[in-house]
């Protein structure tokens, strides 16, 4: 008899006509291929992905044999807003009152944060269906909003989330995180050890097959120079900590054979253009569709990513950007003080201290001093390691062994 899994999350990126899907989709897709019956319950209030327009309170669709139940939920446009929090509560209300009788009875329920509030419904479903409850952490709250959102630990909402987080860690039958060192955070919160498993971001077949070239006019205008290119591709926003990247470009402005390329848009792009647009070694390029990212990265010689110096990173990272960079088979330099993984494990680049402009400049000089063949070997190590260790088929099998303790008959 097939095992039935409910994957319950307020934020889910499904496979659509214009998108291959996100991590959650690739995981449940592979679980279905392994012979399990999958039900996804989510909301339509994720404003960063392509979702169906709902006309009913509940809409059910079948996507490649996976039942997806959409709950119409309050929308919001600003992440740091009261409407976002109200939307969380609205989703939980709709989830509680959802008529679940038409759904196959679950053997396990996965509650995937964010939002943490869903653990309350998860505990009720475990009691109601006598099934296992697995807590999946994709973003550590409330730590993230304290460290990077400017909220005080004494804020009543933060204290409430912290209490709920501890309940979730105590009561879940298993804890899964996308970050490799989440176990340390759980231990810090509970004061004792609990087994914590890592199922990180990975690579799907769509990543490998859905690759398009950038238009010739785009490549000619932004990526055609023969200079040593240091490329950052992604959102130009607060969380991307790009001040060091631009400061490094300013420091190296007289080195005419090195060029810094920023590919993407975001809230801070205009202000960075005003401050640094005069630099002769800096190029601002517009964002490209997801399937053209690899073609853009292929034009670079060294790929750069950065994060703020935050306690959040003490527990590791599992970022789409790092996946894209390693898949491009290019060397990587990362301004990052957190728990190291992936880049160091594969040997495809270096970590330098966050907020250290001189360290970035030294890393650029060191990588530039290597031959093109040496850099190609470094980059290839990253791609090879990624394909061997982070394909979603393997990750889903690992996940299933956690869900059913090895029994997936």
The model's pLDDT over 296-345, given as tens digits with 9 standing for 90+, comes to 999 999 999 999 999 999 999 988 899 999 999 999 999 999 999 999 99
Q: Give the whole-angstrom CA distance, residue 196 versus residue 175.
A: 5
Residue 401: inside a domain: no
Do 190 and 270 lie in one domain? The reply is no
Domain edge (last residue) among 199, 233, 259:
199
Residue 395: inside a domain: no
Residue 242: inside a domain: yes
Residue 226: inside a domain: yes
Do 117 and 190 lie in one domain? The reply is yes
Helix (H) / strand (E) element for 27: namely helix 23-33
Whether residue 132 is predicted with pLDDT greater than 60 in this model: the reply is yes
Whether residue 142 is predicted with pLDDT greater than 80 in this model: the reply is yes
How many CB atoms are closer than 10 A to CB 210?
Answer: 15
Residue among 300, 292, 345, 291 nearest 318 (CA): 345
Do 234 and 259 lie in one domain? The reply is yes
| Cβ proximity of 306 and 275 under 8 Å | no
| Cβ proximity of 311 and 147 under 8 Å | yes
Helix (H) / strand (E) element for 229: namely strand 228-233
Residues 274-297 have a mean pLDDT of 94
Average predicted confidence (pLDDT) for the chain: 92
Which pLDDT belongs to residue 408?
39
Whether residue 84 is predicted with pLDDT greater than 90 in this model: the reply is no
Q: Could you tell me the residue range of the domain that residue 260 belongs to? A: 212-389
Which pLDDT belongs to residue 61?
93
Which pLDDT belongs to residue 320?
87
Question: What are 37's strand-pairing partners?
Answer: 4
Enumerate residues 6+ apart whose C-beta is below 8 A from 408. Answer: 3, 34, 35, 36, 400, 401
If one compares 119 and 210, the residue with the highest pLDDT of the two is 119
Do 193 and 269 lie in one domain? The reply is no
Do 258 and 125 lie in one domain? The reply is no
Confidence at 48, pLDDT banded by 50, 70, 90: low
The model's pLDDT over 145-185, given as tens digits with 9 standing for 90+, comes to 898 888 899 999 999 999 999 999 999 999 999 999 999 99
Domains held by the chain: number: 2
Whether residue 204 is predicted with pLDDT greater than 60 in this model: the reply is yes
How long is the chain? Answer: 409
Residue 406: inside a domain: no
If one compares 209 and 110, the residue with the highest pLDDT of the two is 110
Do 175 and 229 lie in one domain? The reply is no
Confidence at 47, pLDDT banded by 50, 70, 90: low
Q: Give the whole-angstrom CA distance, residue 145 versus residue 154.
A: 12
The model's pLDDT over 289-310, given as tens digits with 9 standing for 90+, comes to 888 999 999 999 999 999 999 9
Residue 205: inside a domain: no
Which pLDDT belongs to residue 37?
97
Which pLDDT belongs to residue 249?
97
Do 42 and 131 lie in one domain? The reply is yes
pTM of the entire predicted model: 0.91
CATH of the domain at 278: 3.40.50.2000
Whether residue 22 is predicted with pLDDT greater than 50 in this model: the reply is yes
| Cβ proximity of 233 and 321 under 8 Å | yes
Which pLDDT belongs to residue 160?
94
Do 232 and 330 lie in one domain? The reply is yes
Residues 65-87 have a mean pLDDT of 88
Whether residue 49 is predicted with pLDDT greater than 80 in this model: the reply is no
Which pLDDT belongs to residue 81?
78
Residues 98-113 have a mean pLDDT of 96
Q: How far is CA 395 from its chain centroid?
A: 15
Do 178 and 223 lie in one domain? The reply is no
Residue 404: inside a domain: no
Do 148 and 293 lie in one domain? The reply is no
Do 160 and 229 lie in one domain? The reply is no
Residues 21-46 have a mean pLDDT of 93
List the beta strands (DSSP E) in 114-154.
132-137
Do 239 and 383 lie in one domain? The reply is yes
Which pLDDT belongs to residue 238?
83
Enumerate residues 6+ apart whose C-beta is below 8 A from 356. Answer: 244, 335
Question: What are 136's strand-pairing partners?
Answer: 112, 176
The model's pLDDT over 223-234, given as tens digits with 9 standing for 90+, comes to 999 999 999 999
Residue 396: inside a domain: no
Which pLDDT belongs to residue 350?
96
Confidence at 79, pLDDT banded by 50, 70, 90: confident
Q: Give the whole-angstrom CA distance, residue 262 versus residue 283.
A: 6
Q: Give the whole-angstrom CA distance, residue 24 versus residue 88.
A: 19
The pLDDT > 90 percentage for the chain reads 80
């Amino acid at each position: 008899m097939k095992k039935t899994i409910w994957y319950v999350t307020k934020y889910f990126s499904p496979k659509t006509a214009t998108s291959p899907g996100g991590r959650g989709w690739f995981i449940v897709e592979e679980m279905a291929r392994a012979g399990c019956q999958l039900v996804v319950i989510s909301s339509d209030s994720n404003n960063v992905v392509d979702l169906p327009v709902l006309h009913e309170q509940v809409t059910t669709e079948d996507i490649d044999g996976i039942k997806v139940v959409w709950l119409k939920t309050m929308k919001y446009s600003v992440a740091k807003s009261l409407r976002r929090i109200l939307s969380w509560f609205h989703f939980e209300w709709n989830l509680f009152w959802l008529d679940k009788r038409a759904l196959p009875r679950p053997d396990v329920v996965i509650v995937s944060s964010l939002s943490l509030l869903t653990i309350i419904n998860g505990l009720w479903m475990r009691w109601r269906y006598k099934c296992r409850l697995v807590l999946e952490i994709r973003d550590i709250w409330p730590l993230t909003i304290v460290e990077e959102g400017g909220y005080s630990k004494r804020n009543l909402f933060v204290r409430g989330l912290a209490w709920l987080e501890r309940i979730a860690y105590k009561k879940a039958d298993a804890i899964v995180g996308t970050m490799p060192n989440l176990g340390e955070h759980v231990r810090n919160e509970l004061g004792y050890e609990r087994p914590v498993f890592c199922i990180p971001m990975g690579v799907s077949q769509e990543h490998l097959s859905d690759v398009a070239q950038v238009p010739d006019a785009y490549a000619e205008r932004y990526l055609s120079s023969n200079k040593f290119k240091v490329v950052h591709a992604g959102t130009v926003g607060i969380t991307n900590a790009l001040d060091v990247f631009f400061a490094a470009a300013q420091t190296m402005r007289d080195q005419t054979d090195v060029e810094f390329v920023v590919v993407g848009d975001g809230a801070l792009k205009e202000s960075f253009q005003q401050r640094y647009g005069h630099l002769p070694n800096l190029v601002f390029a517009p964002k490209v569709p997801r399937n053209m990212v690899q073609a853009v990265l292929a034009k670079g010689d060294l790929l750069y990513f950065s994060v703020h110096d935050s306690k959040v990173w003490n527990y590791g990272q599992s970022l789409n950007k790092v996946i894209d960079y390693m898949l491009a088979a290019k060397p990587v330099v990362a301004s990052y003080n957190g728990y190291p993984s992936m880049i160091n494990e594969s040997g495809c680049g270096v970590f330098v201290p966050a907020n250290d402009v001189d360290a970035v400049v030294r890393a650029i000089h060191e990588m530039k001093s290597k031959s093109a063949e040496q850099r190609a070997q470094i980059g290839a190590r990253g791609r090879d390691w990624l394909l061997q260790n982070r394909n979603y088929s393997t990750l889903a099998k690992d996940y299933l062994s956690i869900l059913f303790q090895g029994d997936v008959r």
